[in-house]
Amino acid sequence: MRPGRWRRAGRWLVGRLLGAVFVLWAVATLIFFAIRLVPGDPAEAILGGPGSQASAEALDTVRRQYGLDQPLLVQYLAQLGRLATGDLGTSYSLRTDVGRLLLDQLPGTIGLALLSLVVAWLLAIGTAWWATLGGRVAATVSSGLEVVASAVPHFWLASLLILVFSTELGLLPPVSTGTPAGLVLPVVTLAIPVAGFLGQVTRDSLLDAATTPFTVSARARGESPSGLFARHLLRHAALPGLALSGWAFGSLLSGAVVVESVFARPGLGRTLLGAVTLRDIPLVTGVALVSALAYVVVVALGDLAERAVDPRGRAT
């Protein structure tokens, strides 16, 4: 690699690292102040919630132990200091180290999101191919399907899929079973809305690429429609979608909160939902930070993929 490319790669890496630090700081700050706007006393949450009937003395002891009696700014700076050393704290509700708990839950959610992203891309490319080669009717129908898919709520889609494929047909389990069959409905539920959006972006890019000089030249050389799509159009049409893959992954992570709850699937989504309900500040913060870090990593990988597909990106 030439020195100029090393310098550009170094600037890109430093920029990504600084961006990741900023995102994590912003998420930690937002979660810290937002969760304190929720009615209730964190000391009660630590002692088991309002139903624990903890005494005033016990509440005061917990506040001193966890620093909750300190000014808000002091608590905020103390939390930033702990997070900077990698200490995510102990879960109030589960009495477990948050870092260890997240390591147990993380693979399931990340795997679900990545698999859903792959399926979403396959569906998007399939509909784009059909719209491009199938004529005006195919383009109109695929456009309508993409709009509907991108607007479907995860909860409604999950309920519909369970009703059809589990209750009526009995083909797939309605809840997570730890088997590949139990993964199908959650993956499809997450993938369809994202596929609708990626399909719209890819199809529009295909239409633009179809009128470019390189496409006209390929047609003049006798390239078949399928070959034109696979060798020329798709590479250029996929660039906007690759740039949005980071956003799509973030959307899948947020959708996992609903999907994991509906399908009783263990993961970060269900963990976050329970932590918010129980006002478990360390666990909420940990889930948010891990999700943000995963999002930053996927955005960086998407940027690398875009640069690999488009040689023009390597020069910047």
- 155-213: per-residue pLDDT in tens? 888 889 899 888 888 888 888 777 888 888 999 999 998 888 887 777 777 766 666 66
Which class would CATH give 98-315? mainly alpha
H helices of the chain, in order, are 3-35, 42-46, 56-65, 72-84, 98-133, 135-151, 154-161, 180-209, 213-220, 225-228, 234-243, 245-262, 268-277, 281-309
pTM value is 0.73
266/177 Cα distance (integer angstroms): 10
Type of residue at 5: R
Q: How many C-beta neighbours within 10 Å does residue 240 have?
A: 15
d(CA 26, CA 288): 11
What pLDDT sits at residue 312?
Answer: 52
Answer yes or no: are the C-beta atoms of 146 and 203 closer than 8 Å.
Answer: yes
The pair of structure tokens assigned to 184 is: 């199908």
CA atoms within 13 A on the CB side of 96: 14
pLDDT in tens, 68-91: 777 888 888 888 888 888 888 888
Q: What is the pLDDT of residue 53?
A: 67
* Per-residue b or e along 283-294, where b marks 16 or more CB atoms closer than 10 Å to that residue's CB: bbbbbbbbbbeb
Give the DSSP letter of residue 52: G
Query: Would you list the domain boundaries of the chain?
Result: 3-84, 98-315
Virtual torsion, Cα 187, 188, 191, 192, nearest 10 deg: -170
Euclidean distance between the first and final Cα of the chain, in Å? 15
pLDDT at position 65 is 73
- Tokens (6 digits) for 158: 């999950």
Q: 152 phi and psi, to 5 degrees?
A: -75, 125
| Contact between 177 and 169 (Cβ < 8 Å) | no
User: Which residue stretches of the chain have pLDDT < 50?
Assistant: 314-316
